[in-house]
Structure 1
Amino acid sequence: MTSSVLQATRLVKTFGPTTALAGVDLTIRRGESVAVMGASGSGKTTLLHVLAGITTPDQGEVTFTPANGAAVQVTALGETGRSKLRRDNFGFVFQQGLLMPELTAVENVALALMITGVGRAESTERAASWLAALGLGGMEGRRIGELSGGQAQRVAIARAQVTGAEVVFADEPTGALDSRTSGEVMDALLWATTQQGRTLVVVTHDADVAARCARTISVRDGRLITEGVSA
């Protein structure tokens, strides 16, 4: 059986009177793609943020096991430790990309490497290679506003994977795209993650996006209500 890369146990998270997570247990296996679905306010984005070490739960544990190295209890780390974990091991793709509009495509991607200590020349070379692999060769010098929505999301995917992130967390990565472009972005996202042996966790409201993943989890009122394997 494939080993787990993320293990969540009894996660509880509240925001005032609202319970976002109500005792969630979840195992995510290395190299799989998992879609998390649920209505607005169901807790799905909170679950993603807790798994990724962005938000700390009130109760429960999250353990990350890298391919080479000892398991790390994410929920036991302080803010500095969690920031380093996110920088070194996790990648992120959001609905709006959260790219820096004043930078070019290649600069946005290279920056992810440069903040880990890689030199500018090597970072730029590796960034350009990822952009080319994702169909953006020749667009390295364009600023984000000069790209289509689908192209900008591919820049975000390149940024998420240029560091070799073992797990990519994607929150509604196709939410602002039409159906054809959505399919193209999912092609790129799956190619950059699971087809390279890495892991993808994607929050989505789109059943077509969820169907592209190996497993779908449904969340309601902070609890996992169903788990299914996509055809």
Structure 2
Amino acid sequence: MNAILHAQQLTKHYPGSIALDHVDFTALAGESIAIIGPSGSGKTTLLHCLAGILRPDAGSVTLASQAGTIDLGTLPDAGLSRLRREEFGFVFQQGMLLPELTALENVALALMLNGTDRRTSESRAADWLGALGLAGMEQRRLGELSGGQVQRVAIARAQVTGARVVFADEPTGALDSATSSEVLNVLLGSVAANGRTLLVVTHDPNVAARCGRIVELRDGRIVADSAPPVAPAAAPINFKGAFNV
């Protein structure tokens, strides 16, 4: 496997504290990586710097693309926005979806922002929703869905564009244990089925143990980086080739 994301000497300060202290990090294509650590350790800051949401004070982040290596630090804000739309997908604790839109519209919007026509976007969105167990719920708004179903919509949105790296920040943090396990199965299964790289920030040791690698941060530094002691595979999911990206 080849490196897809590489960070070197990442440093990020906030008033009165240092969130990242000269962090080196590499993610390989197809890996699932859990980023763990106590509150304030720098987990989310690292995720946001890797995803181009935050600019580090020092250090670099590079992405291996078909066109060559992209240095995120050299991109203007518009270039970073385009990169996030095309190369990265995001799943957040609260979904960060638009409640005014239906499930189908929320997923299709990710494609339409990239210039795909509405008909094609909605067709691909419907394929993803169906593959993730939401067939028949395409026209429901978020208030008509359970927490687990909303996160499935977010997972579909994160991958419908063909994003090669999916960033998940506490994706199961607002869910009960049974729903958390169900959503994690869907997230890991769908990412693996499409050969994507997954980075998950989590406080939950059960979530971390399901990933292929665990990176632990403390006080803005990586203090451990290894495979988990027990890493059961995601429960089998029959996606029936429904993904169309």
Tell me the equivalent position of 1:82: 80
Q: Which amino acid counterpart does residue 60 of structure 1 have in structure 2? A: G
Tell me the equivalent position of 1:26: 25
Give CA-to-partner distance per residue, 1:110-140, whole Å, 9 cap, x none.
Answer: 0000010001111000000000000000000
Cα RMSD over matched residues? 0.7
Find the partner of 1:137 among 123, 135, 148.
135
Identity between Structure 1 and Structure 2 (%): 59
Find the partner of 1:158 among 150, 156, 159.
156
Q: Which amino acid counterpart does residue 3 of structure 2 have in structure 1? A: S
Q: Which runs of 4+ in 1 moved over 2 A?
A: none
> Distance in 2 between the 1:69 and 1:137 partners?
36
Q: Which runs of 5 or more structure 1 residues have no equivalent in the other structure?
A: none
Does structure 1 residue 196 correspond to structure 2 residue 194?
yes
Offset at residue 65 of structure 1 (A) = 0.4
Find the partner of 1:178 among 176, 195, 218.
176
Q: Which amino acid counterpart does residue 154 of structure 1 have in structure 2? A: R
Find the partner of 2:222 among 209, 221, 224.
224
> Distance in 2 between the 1:194 and 1:47 partners?
23
Give CA-to-partner distance per residue, 1:176-218, whole Å, 9 cap, x none.
Answer: 0011111111111112212311000000000000011000001
Q: Which amino acid counterpart does residue 207 of structure 1 have in structure 2? A: P
Tell me the equivalent position of 1:60: 59
Tell me the equivalent position of 1:96: 94
Tell me the equivalent position of 2:235: none
Q: Which runs of 5 or more structure 2 residues have no equivalent in the other structure?
A: 231-245
Give CA-to-partner distance per residue, 1:91-126, whole Å, 9 cap, x none.
Answer: 000000011101100000000000100011110000
Offset at residue 16 of structure 1 (A) = 1.4
Offset at residue 69 of structure 1 (A) = 2.4
Tell me the equivalent position of 1:211: 209
> What TM-score do the two structures reach when normalised by structure 1?
0.98
Write the mapping of 1:36-47 to structure 2, written as runs, cut at 5 A.
Answer: 36-47=35-46
> Distance in 1 between the 2:113 and 2:14 partners?
32
> What TM-score do the two structures reach when normalised by structure 2?
0.92
Tell me the equivalent position of 2:3: 4
Give CA-to-partner distance per residue, 1:125-158, whole Å, 9 cap, x none.
Answer: 0000000000000000100010000000000000
| Count of residue correspondences | 229
Give CA-to-partner distance per residue, 1:57-114, whole Å, 9 cap, x none.
Answer: 0000000002x22110012211111111001100000000011101100000000000
